[in-house]
Amino acid sequence: MTKNGFLKEGNSIKVTLPEGHISEKWDNHKFSMKVVNPANKRKYTVIVVGTGLAGASAAASLAELGYNVKNFCIQDSPRRAHSIGAQGGINAAKNYQNDGDSIWRLFYDTVKGGDFRAREANVYRLAQTSVNIIDHCVAQGIPFAREYGGLLDNRSFGGALVSRTFYARGQTGQQLLLGAYSSLMRQVDTGKVELLPRREMLDLVIHDGIARGIVVRNLINGAIESHSGDAVVLATGGYGNVFYLSTNAINSNATAAWRCFKKGAYFANPCFTQIHPTCIPFSGEYQSKLTLMSESLRNDGRIWVPKKKGENRPSNEIPEEDRDYFLERKYPTFGNLVPRDVGSRNIKEVCDEERGVGDMGRAVYMDFADAIQRLGKDVIEDKYGNLFDLYEKITGEDAYQVPMRIYPAVHYTMGGLWVDYDLMSNVPGLFVLGEANFSDHGANRLGASALMQGLADGYFVIPYTIGNYLAGTKFDKVTADAPEFKDSEQLIRDFTQRLLSIKGKKTVREFHRELGQIVWDKVGMSRNEKGLKEAIEQIRDLREDYWKNVLVTGDAGTLNKYLEFAGRVADYFELAELMAIDALHRNESCGAHFREESQTSEGEALRNDTDYTYVAAWEYTSEGNPSILNKENLEFEYVKPSERVYK
């Protein structure tokens, strides 16, 4: 059945979960899974795409077990993966602060923070494995912050009333990635991992119904290369750059995941995109990306705006009685540490009321004066020094003297390829880890949980579940000379030649910027039926113009950044349309998906649990035809859905 011309109704997805109480499911599953004899592991080849936290940890762990691993990345070094940009910390239910934390509380906070749109069993496993991550990383030598006595320190992040976030100043992602990289390079040195940098995955190859390899483009010489294996692990991150301006690295893209979607993998909840509340504001058309200011700053930074519209006095001349600490006022229990979706919408709201600050009026203050007076500048510098330096380098302002100016920006995507409990997509043999999958965060991710998920998936989940798949599957011998690989190579060459032959008048970046503006305006922090329908039509019109009028210079046989970005933006057009359709069909507000038609009298998100307690798993049909909406119904046995209150 076609619905409004935008989608076709599909089937119900039934996920098989392990038996037992939720606290026993993962242990029961580990025991019941099939395993591969250590001597037989060297007979298998696993392809891992991506070298961020999920990809590097998976490649290192699988090689350590004895599998042969081919590891691909688009960068010149695995160390340049975008995980390095994560700043604030990583969650774990260690309860080192003796403040009431537990695996159950982390599980509860994550399900609630995701507005009850995640699979309970996956979330509990994430909380359960979090405690192992910290021990593992400490053993690797990760320099987590420590208290005076030498014990590991913690700080708080949004959506939690306990301190469970481990950190390394404002460089946590970098330090964790260096740990995973060290483990990875050890396996490269042993010969168990073949590292293939500067390759971009452009297609998934399916043989006899299962994933058996990938086709990549060598970004240096343009060669199209095929690589076969017994399973494919995708760990390529999220799709936030569809918005053009985001906190993601410019090279971060959705192409690998999107090409898997077009080969039959379901894409789940694409409209669930996270807007981070604390980023350096947009300042001009010349910008190609935005910069994150870590959520950890909200531990000590107080967020405020002037009480009256059009206030033009400098911040230090505005007295306390003329300031509105609006998050503390509206949410006294959580204050400035409300979840990201709540914080972002409230910042947008006060700016829409013309109380924003800065030249463009699209910013609020994050003020550290009270913390500096209470704790001293040295303490704040020890905690956040590199973040303050980064802010001053970009804005020219000293945040020790004047408040930071912040505004929300696209940061993370909760949607991604659909996976089961074993992190395998509906395409047998295709596993999806980290931000590339949809599995753990529902409609809103809590701060410091992305690093936790990436390392949990790579170090502690995939080593078990991929063995279960390999041990239970019979494989034909397939090489890169198989017809499926050759067909894929030819399709890629045809696609590339099509882009190069257009020779239009507008650059890829111009089209990307226009697309990003449409998505930001109408599929961003706030959505409504009229705007989403307009967005769908505008995206389609712009995509049609793209294939008539884009200019891609150079050729396919050499390093060509214009060609790289042209292919990615072509995929963004299709993904952006699906995001808008997903947002249109989900006529409720939940987490980061805020439909203006569905809000409480106080302007908070209003869920519709009767009609939308499911994962929307979209299935590709063919170009120009509606995607099929399959549904995985979510059951909440342990955390009953309730109104998400942070007041």
CATH number, position 306: 3.90.700.10
Q: Are residues 338 and 251 in the same domain?
A: no
Domain end: 378, 409, 440, which one?
Answer: 409
Q: Across residues 170-194, what is the average pLDDT? A: 97
Question: What is the distance between the alpha carbons of residues 498 and 547, in angstroms, rounded to a whole number?
Answer: 9
252 and 282 within one domain: no
Amino acid identity of residue 563, one-letter, is: L
Q: Which of 376, 409, 442 is the last residue of a domain?
A: 409
Residues 433, 234 contacting (CB under 8 angstroms): yes
Give this prediction's pTM: 0.97
Query: What's the CATH number where 432 sits?
Result: 3.50.50.60
Average pLDDT value for the chain: 97
Q: Are residues 444 and 553 in the same domain?
A: yes
Same domain, 567 and 442: yes
Same domain for 229 and 292, yes or no, is no
**What's the domain count of the chain?**
2
151 lies in some domain = no
pLDDT in tens, 574-623: 999 999 999 999 999 999 999 999 999 999 999 999 999 999 999 999 99
Q: Would you say residue 604 lies in a domain?
A: yes
Q: Which residues contact 37 (CB under 8 A, 6 or more apart)?
A: none
Residue at token pair 């400098």: 314
Which residue among 105, 212, 340, 568 is the active-site one? 340
Helices (H), 586-634: 609-612
Whether residue 330 is found in the same domain as residue 289: yes
Is 197 found in the same domain as 48? yes
Q: Check whether residue 45 and residue 177 sit in a common domain.
A: yes
Domain range for 60 is 1-82+173-272+414-637
Whether the pLDDT of residue 286 is over 90: the answer is: no
Backbone angles phi, psi at 232, to 5 degrees: -120, 130
CA-CA distance, 53 to 436, in Å (whole number)?
A: 12
Measuring CA to CA, how many Å separate 106 from each of 164, 572, 575?
A: 9, 34, 32
Q: Tell me, yes or no, whether 252 and 293 share the same domain.
A: no
Residue 457 DSSP one-character state? I
Residue 230 falls inside a structural domain? yes
481 and 571 part of one domain = yes
The answer to whether residue 313 is catalytic is no
55-82 residue pLDDT tens: 999 999 999 999 999 999 999 999 999 9
**Residue 1: its pLDDT value, please?**
41
**Predicted local confidence at residue 284, as pLDDT:** 86
Q: Would you state the pLDDT for residue 104? A: 98
Residue 147 backbone class (left: φ over 0; alpha: ψ -120 to 50; beta: rest)? beta
Tracing tokens 């080849």 back to the chain, one arrives at 45
Last residue of a domain, one of 359, 374, 409: 409
For 437-467, the three-class secondary structure string (H helix, E strand, C coil) is: ECCCCCCCCCCCCHHHHHHHHHHHHHHHHHH
Closest C-alpha to 169, from 407, 450, 389: 389
Residues 305, 199 share a domain = no
**Average pLDDT for residues 271-295, to the nearest whole number?**
94
